[in-house]
Chain A
Amino acid sequence: MDAARVNAETLERLRARIQALQAAPRAHLAVLRTGVEAVDALLPAGGFPLGEVVELWGSPASGRTRLALRVVAEAHRALRLAAYVDGPGELYPPALAALGVEAGRLFWVRPGASFQGSWAALQLLRSGAFACVVLDLTHTGQRLAPAAAKRLHDAAARAGGLLLLLTPEEAPGEGSLRLLTTAGPHGMHVEVVRSRQGMRARAADVPWEALGPWGPPSRASCLLDPFGQSGPVPAPLPPSLQRPRTSEVRNGLCGIQGQRPGRDLALPALGSPLGLKG
């Protein structure tokens, strides 16, 4: 009799637990933040909205890719999948971990022909399985045709995924939200140049350090003093593998500005301690 009562109580507790779980509000992913406050503040929704095509348009090394990968990392933190359609084949996996990207949740597509990139992105968006799809058109010489851009817009809106377009300066795409990125001496400059929600011409400056976990300033930073007058004593190095170096000053012992080569020290951040001009 007691056993039956205990079973009934256990069942009742389980039933109540299941009902509570089913009634709990479901987490709804509406935006993906970059985690860079200055950039998120520029955006109408406080992040990159899902269901839209966002374009990061700018010069090489202006920080577009790191910004996109931070968004990918945000999707991974929500246990969602992301895809990177690598048109030029330049994505470098060893750099991903520092940006918080979980390699196992990143689908890396390297299409053989440039025109296959937008087709692959379209398929990925339509599947609805990826929260974020990055389509990298840099160095591909390809400009997105209006019809293809329209299809991508429709697919993103229907499936509720975010498409991030990485476009070069000379070939802007058709993103509904376009951010222009330019490189400055101390960081990247981000400006909203197209937006359907009236946030145009807003801009922000983001220091390079905010985009990635650069190594902290260390003793190595002083190595950038010309010719290491205040630096450590250069250690003897093994002779060159092929032939002697041409520079007498470097003499195979030191870097191009006299500093000691070393792989044990973390590279310092690019900043004023490193001898930036201006």
Chain B
Amino acid sequence: MRVAFLHLPRFPVQRRRPLLGRPAAPEAEPPLALVHAVRGVQRVAFASAHASAQGVRGGMALTAARALVPALVDLPYDPAEEGRALASVAEGLLVLAPAYMPSPPDGLWLDASAAPLFGGEAGLLRRALSHLLGLGLRARGAVASELFTARALARFGGGRVTVVSPGGSAEALALLPLQALEEVESPVHASLGAFGLRTLGEVARLVPAQVGVRLGTRGLRAIALARGGDDARFLPAPLPEQIEEARTLDAPAEALEPLLFVLKGMVDALCARLRGRSRAALRLTLTLLLEPDGPREVPLVLARPSNVPRLLLDLLRSRLEDLRLPAPVATVVLGVKTWCQDPGQQRVLGALPEGDAGLESVLARLATALGPEALSSPRAAEDHRPEAARSSAPFQPPVAEQGVHAEARRASAPRPAPDARSAERPVRLLPRPAPLPVDLGPVGELRSARLFGRPRAVLGLAGPERLSGQWWTRGPFARDYYRVHFEGLGPTWIFRDARDGRFYLHGFFD
């Protein structure tokens, strides 16, 4: 089996770098250390390159590190949270690979069997590194037939992209330093160093029987690894059921901008995870943990399924702009409540990469603000009762035709055939029929009616059209509809109800 390893050097530090702001120059970046408590003492777990250059090392006490670098910025380190963050990044890579296996705290293996889809194994690695760079993460990658070989080459090989052909592992590993055997326990590692060995090639040339006598099975395993004989198996990580991103802010946010800054990273990660699973979100929930008021939920409803970060971020921005919060925000959780499969869309020649992003964005914004029931596409229902013939359906317009061929298709688009029956219906129907005071002649003919505050004579009349039905229900109806032209108005639609003999105004041919 071919596996790829992606090494993200100092991943816990890298993923926090955006939170510190963008420095004017790399050397102006503040020195950063992640610290955790070890036996009651705050010790450095990870240090940024800038801090490392000034002598800060992992395991050093925070006080000692501060003595070395007074400007050191320290942030808490939580291995569980880092593990979740690494899994989130790995899920985003599922667009390139069918499965992943984490290697905390700063690496992950990918099943490289889908490499032919991306131009080979080197192409797969380049796509993965490009994806990670889009998330603000630098990485190195290697593909090999064994887990150890891929990992050692990605971490210690030096190259950004390394591909080892099957059977060439021992040769590829030969020049790597002895530190690549970090998987083997440190006493064995130290002993090998004490023997004067410096590279894995030298380890591979040892006689197993002699090493077995001196170092036991661990020594034999070290030789096997150095010879490219790793037999560890790739165990795909199970995907969490819930697609959710959470961030705890370093300082509670009182303004919109810092919140949006955090949300940007969360939305990017969430959408990458959705795309990795070929899913699109339909309904999301943003939970803001306020200090000290507690959680506040903000539902987000999308009119159409989407996994586009820009759309979700626009939607979040418009929702948060209208929100008045009584307390600052300490923690943000963004979760997908409802999702569907995302089949993707094939672009055509000349199509714009953003597609109909404007439409998606406005549909989502309106659906969130007005509710999905306020948005639809009009439909005529097959019902004789006029008010029941008004129906609606979800707005799902044809996919916007783009590209150079769309112009030609527009010119030849067939025109819909006119519908004779719909010509007899008014364009405006009152929500409820309004009683119409009428003046009838001596033999019952309609002479005038009181409309909009004054009596209006009948100038013309057409009908009746008798509509009746539902006699088998508790709400039968029988109406004679007329198109009546009143003085000072255009054509109106009125009916005489057979139940009470009264006239009602029901619509306008406006």
Q: Which residues of A line the B interface, CB within 8 A? A: 18, 21-22, 24, 26-27, 59-66, 69, 77-79, 81, 84, 88-100, 102-112, 116, 119-120, 123-124, 126-129, 138, 183, 185, 188, 208, 212-215, 220-221, 224, 226-227, 237, 240-243, 245-250, 252, 255-259, 261-263, 266-271, 274-278
With A90-B429, A95-B427, A249-B443 already in contact, 18 other A-B pairs whose C-beta atoms are closer than 8 Å = A18-B404, A60-B489, A90-B507, A94-B389, A103-B378, A120-B370, A127-B362, A129-B358, A183-B489, A224-B460, A224-B462, A227-B445, A247-B440, A247-B501, A266-B423, A267-B424, A270-B483, A276-B459
> Which residues on the B side are within 8 Å of A124 (C-beta)?
362, 366
Is A92 in contact with B467, judged by CB distance below 8 angstroms? Answer: no
Q: How many residues of B contact A (CB 8 A)?
A: 93
| Complex Cα–Cα for A194 and B428 (A) | 26
A78: nearest chain-B partner, CB-CB? B410
With A96-B422, A212-B423: A18-B349 Cβ-Cβ less than 8 Å: yes
B507: nearest chain-A partner, CB-CB? A92
> Which residues on the A side are within 8 Å of B440 (C-beta)?
247, 256
With A108-B392, A127-B359: A60-B510 Cβ-Cβ less than 8 Å: yes
The answer to the question of B77 belonging to the interface, with a C-beta cut-off of 8 Å to chain A, is no
> Which residues on the A side are within 8 Å of B492 (C-beta)?
61
- Return B78 CB to nearest CB of chain A, in Å: 41
B417: nearest chain-A partner, CB-CB? A97
Task: Determine the main DSSP class of B at the interface with A.
Answer: mixed
The answer to the question of B292 belonging to the interface, with a C-beta cut-off of 8 Å to chain A, is no
| Complex Cα–Cα for A95 and B498 (A) | 25
- Could you give, for residues 340-369 of chain B, a 1 whenever the CB lies within 8 Å of some chain A CB and a 0 otherwise? 000000000110000010110110011001
Is A24 in contact with B407, judged by CB distance below 8 angstroms? Answer: yes
The answer to the question of B466 belonging to the interface, with a C-beta cut-off of 8 Å to chain A, is yes
Is B390 in contact with A94, judged by CB distance below 8 angstroms? Answer: yes
Q: Which 4 A-B pairs have the closest CB atoms?
A: A61-B490, A127-B362, A93-B378, A129-B359
Is A241 in contact with B490, judged by CB distance below 8 angstroms? Answer: no
B489: nearest chain-A partner, CB-CB? A61
The answer to the question of B398 belonging to the interface, with a C-beta cut-off of 8 Å to chain A, is yes
A242: nearest chain-B partner, CB-CB? B499
| Complex Cα–Cα for A84 and B429 (A) | 15
Is A77 in contact with B423, judged by CB distance below 8 angstroms? Answer: no
Task: Determine the main DSSP class of A at the interface with B.
Answer: loop
- Return A94 CB to nearest CB of chain B, in Å: 4
| Complex Cα–Cα for A188 and B410 (A) | 33
The answer to the question of B40 belonging to the interface, with a C-beta cut-off of 8 Å to chain A, is no
- Return B510 CB to nearest CB of chain A, in Å: 4
Is B462 in contact with A61, judged by CB distance below 8 angstroms? Answer: no
Q: Which residues of B line the A interface, CB within 8 A? A: 349-350, 356, 358-359, 361-362, 365-366, 369-371, 374-380, 386, 389-392, 395-398, 401, 404-411, 413, 415-416, 418-431, 440, 443-446, 452, 457, 459-468, 471, 476-478, 480, 482-483, 485, 488-492, 496, 498-501, 507-510
What are 29 of the A-B contact pairs (CB < 8 Å)?
A: A27-B407, A27-B411, A61-B509, A65-B428, A79-B409, A81-B397, A92-B426, A94-B421, A95-B427, A96-B422, A103-B379, A105-B398, A107-B375, A107-B397, A108-B375, A116-B369, A120-B366, A120-B369, A123-B366, A185-B459, A224-B462, A243-B499, A246-B501, A248-B444, A250-B444, A270-B462, A270-B483, A270-B485, A274-B462
> Which residues on the B side are within 8 Å of A27 (C-beta)?
407, 410-411
- Return B359 CB to nearest CB of chain A, in Å: 4
- Return B438 CB to nearest CB of chain A, in Å: 9
Residue in B386, B395, B496 whose beta carbon sits within 8 Å of that of A256 in the complex: B496
Is A255 in contact with B370, judged by CB distance below 8 angstroms? Answer: no
> Which residues on the A side are within 8 Å of B443 (C-beta)?
227, 249
B458: nearest chain-A partner, CB-CB? A277
Is A261 in contact with B464, judged by CB distance below 8 angstroms? Answer: yes
> Which residues on the A side are within 8 Å of B405 (C-beta)?
21
Is A270 in contact with B476, judged by CB distance below 8 angstroms? Answer: no
| Complex Cα–Cα for A199 and B508 (A) | 30
| Complex Cα–Cα for A60 and B410 (A) | 36
Is B485 in contact with A185, judged by CB distance below 8 angstroms? Answer: yes
With A92-B425, A123-B366: A241-B404 Cβ-Cβ less than 8 Å: no
| Complex Cα–Cα for A226 and B444 (A) | 11
- Of A21, A220, A267, A269, most buried by chain B (CB within 10 Å of CB) is A267
- Return A248 CB to nearest CB of chain B, in Å: 8
Residue in A98, A112, A138, A240 whose beta carbon sits within 8 Å of that of B374 in the complex: A112
> Which residues on the A side are within 8 Å of B389 (C-beta)?
93-94
With A60-B510, A66-B427, A98-B419: A116-B398 Cβ-Cβ less than 8 Å: no
> Which residues on the A side are within 8 Å of B375 (C-beta)?
107-110
Is B483 in contact with A111, judged by CB distance below 8 angstroms? Answer: no
- Of B390, B462, B500, B508, most buried by chain A (CB within 10 Å of CB) is B462
> Which residues on the B side are within 8 Å of A183 (C-beta)?
488-490
With A61-B489, A126-B362, A241-B471: A104-B398 Cβ-Cβ less than 8 Å: yes
| Complex Cα–Cα for A88 and B428 (A) | 10
- Return B392 CB to nearest CB of chain A, in Å: 6
| Complex Cα–Cα for A237 and B374 (A) | 41
Is A93 in contact with B380, judged by CB distance below 8 angstroms? Answer: yes
Is A97 in contact with B499, judged by CB distance below 8 angstroms? Answer: no
Is A267 in contact with B392, judged by CB distance below 8 angstroms? Answer: no
| Complex Cα–Cα for A212 and B483 (A) | 14
| Complex Cα–Cα for A84 and B395 (A) | 12
Is B380 in contact with A127, judged by CB distance below 8 angstroms? Answer: no
Is B407 in contact with A97, judged by CB distance below 8 angstroms? Answer: no
> Which residues on the B side are within 8 Å of A224 (C-beta)?
460-462
> Which residues on the A side are within 8 Å of B457 (C-beta)?
277
| Complex Cα–Cα for A63 and B492 (A) | 11
